[in-house]
Structure 1
Amino acid sequence: MITILVVDDSLFVREQVKAILSGEKDIVVVGEARNGREAVSLTRKLAPDVIIMDVDMDGMDGIEATRHIMEECPAPIVIHTSSTIARERNVPFEAMKMGALDLIRKPDIYPLTEELRKEFLNKIKIVAGIKVFRRRKRVKPSFETPVPGIETRPLPKILAIAASTGGPKAIYDILSQLPSVVPFPILIVQHIGASFVEGFVEWLQTATSIQMRIARDGERLVPNACYLSPGTHHLSISKNETIVLRNGSPVNSCKPSADVLFESVAAAYGKYAVGLLLTGIGQDGAKGLKQIKLAGGMTLVQDESSSIVFGMPKAAIEKNAAVRICPLDRIPRELVELFRLN
């Protein structure tokens, strides 16, 4: 049985969330909170399997509540936020920085369509299976083991990154530790709702001086720029270094798909490509990462101990697609060494 704590300052929203969950035999709502302070108190008392957390609340908001919960009594948290906040502000991602695992957009109109209801329940059930740990202050890692054979590898020309659950914070952490200027473009596929992409880009821009932008079809890649999939299309690159957005069917049940990105990068850049596959559920990215490796490029995969969910990295390792398997706090240094940014 999955136990749920619903946190929202709106009684109407709390009732609607409970109605969505009520038809599930394996889910039970064990508590409700009107603000962050109540959420922290009830989390200590009830130890719920999942917390559905609003962001914009009087008193203690969802960001501060998430910080307290992850420091004192860790529990999987899903941020439940309005479309207005998601499009216009990076607030929900600040909660993810504090340890929240995923985002769900509040609909403009209740009740939910059957498609949105299934998506809502699927996210809750996935997050319920994730083990979270007490959030601690970052310890500066030591980088004593260099990338082997770096002197004989060609200088890479592009970095492609893909992630799913747990990815936003991982990507933020990596970008924040790269140099302020990089002489290559970065392409990112993050499995996230399209309405959250703008806020995601704005939030990532607070971590780095590298220019963050939403990818546009036909746009030519330039150095020191990071292009994120718009969330509605597959992101790929042509051999003349131009972005191609594809409005095709989902691949691996994902749109955008990591495989589509990696396969296009392998074809366009070959041995000059670097592919990085981070935390996430499923197998998306494993096949494409293998293509980069077969083309002579470098492939990196996040290790199990630092992954929120080890699904995508594990699939890549099982396909023998990973040249290097690294903890998250080692990855920035790996990239610095690979791209000769020292």
Structure 2
Amino acid sequence: MPVKVLIVDDSSFFRNQIKAILEANPQIKVVGEASNGREAIDKTKLLKPDIITMDYEMPLMDGITSVRHIMNETPTPILMFSSLTLKGARVTLDALEAGAVDFLPKSYEKVSGSNSSLRQILVQKILTLTKPAVKMPSAAPANLQEKASVVKPKSAKAKTYAQRFEIVMIGTSTGGPVALQKVLTQLPANYPVPILLIQHMPGTFTGAFAERLNNLCNISVQEAKDGDSLKPGTAYLAPGGQQMILSQKGKLKVMAGEERLNYKPSVDLTFGSAVKYYGRNVLAIVLTGMGADGREGARLLKSVGAAVWAQEGSTCVIDGMPSAVVKANLADEIIPLEDVSQRMKSVV
């Protein structure tokens, strides 16, 4: 049965282009269109789509307000289209906080281009975000591997570690902005070690995201720059479109990286760079996300005795990345999102 899509955009050009892209795939069917947020709410109730593509700037009601209403009244996965501008980045973050599950940058050139990579990415996201595994909110916990310990809120026998952690690294993708906000806002200003954040996100978005986190958190959060010296109580967000690695203990290198790497930034690359300088004294955490980025970096860290945690699947938007770590038998603990920050405080 094809995936049912509702397209919401005030531009008939964009609606027609998106429809043509989606309906070229036999697994997808566009069941309706809306030209404003108010109409989107009504058509969601009437048509019951599997997923909605949502513009932001529209007459009568904007996209974020519409997302809030839909998620309250008829919860449905929503994919936002946002412009590659600072305003677009801030709007996207607001939309994700309102309940949208993911976003795509939007431009006339990309949507109208005959060989645009956006076409492939859009179809892939639509199909992935409508799989039963996508959580909106959490469902019953999945069957977890035996070697990993599932930490529950009032667990009396939480795992203990012999090493002294000197750095925390967190990798994430789809669902990550909201997950990182939930984790980092619960940490104290005097958190004793630096934190590296690797979030799959375009370069025009990471500056706004770091700014938002810094305003919300007790710890300091900044977009990483080449040559940064790491400080306790500070989180460094890898810039979108670039790679962030450790060049020595306590020192960051930000660079373009190799074209062959699928992700910029790459969780695998950042995780792997810590092996030489921090060895077993690394706590690496893989949160919600599509794909398997982070698994091979976690494997390298485990080979030197570092600790690796994975977010518990039922609390992920998409548990691809955490699940890849768990299935590879690399997770020391599998932790519900709401308990990650408490565990970070208790072991570091």
TM over 0.5: yes
Alignment of structure 1 residues 191-230 onto 2, 5 Å? 191-230=200-239
> 1:240 maps to what in 2?
249
1:50/1:250 Cα in 2 relative to 1: closer, same or farther (>3 Å)?
A: farther
> 1:125 maps to what in 2?
127
Give the root-mean-square deviation of aligned CA atoms: 2.4
> 1:114 maps to what in 2?
116
Extract structure 1 runs of 4+ deviating beyond 6 A.
Answer: none
Q: Check conservation: 2:166, 2:281, Cα contact below 8 A.
A: yes
Q: Which one-letter code corresponds to 2:154 in the other structure?
A: E
Identity, in percent, stands at 35
> 2:154 maps to what in 1?
144
Structure 2 residue 34 is matched with structure 1 residue 33: yes
Alignment partners' CA distance in 2, 1:156 and 1:329: 21
Alignment partners' CA distance in 1, 2:280 and 2:175: 29
> What SS class does the counterpart of residue 267 from structure 1 fall into?
helix
Using CA pairs under 8 Å that are at least 6 residues apart, name the structure with larger relative contact order, 1 or 2.
Answer: 2
Structure 1 unmatched runs, 5+: none
> 2:24 maps to what in 1?
23
* TM-score of the two chains, using structure 1 as the length reference: 0.89
> 1:169 maps to what in 2?
178
Identify the range of structure 1 (270-279 vs 233-242) with the bigger mean alpha-carbon deviation.
Answer: 233-242
Q: Check conservation: 1:83, 1:195, Cα contact below 8 A.
A: yes
Count of equivalent residues: 333
* Offset at residue 42 of structure 1 (A): 0.8
> 1:78 maps to what in 2?
79
Q: Which one-letter code corresponds to 2:66 in the other structure?
A: A
1:199/1:233 Cα in 2 relative to 1: closer, same or farther (>3 Å)?
A: same
Q: Check conservation: 1:99, 1:135, Cα contact below 8 A.
A: no
Q: Which one-letter code corresponds to 1:163 in the other structure?
A: T
* Offset at residue 44 of structure 1 (A): 1.1
Alignment partners' CA distance in 2, 1:18 and 1:127: 17
Q: Check conservation: 2:51, 2:78, Cα contact below 8 A.
A: yes
* Offset at residue 259 of structure 1 (A): 0.9
Structure 2 unmatched runs, 5+: 139-150
Give CA deviations for 1:54-90 in whole Å, capped at 9, x if unaligned. 1223333222221222222121111101122556x52
Tell me which of 264, 273, 278 is aligned to 1:255: 264
Identify the range of structure 1 (6-15 vs 244-253) with the bigger mean alpha-carbon deviation.
Answer: 244-253
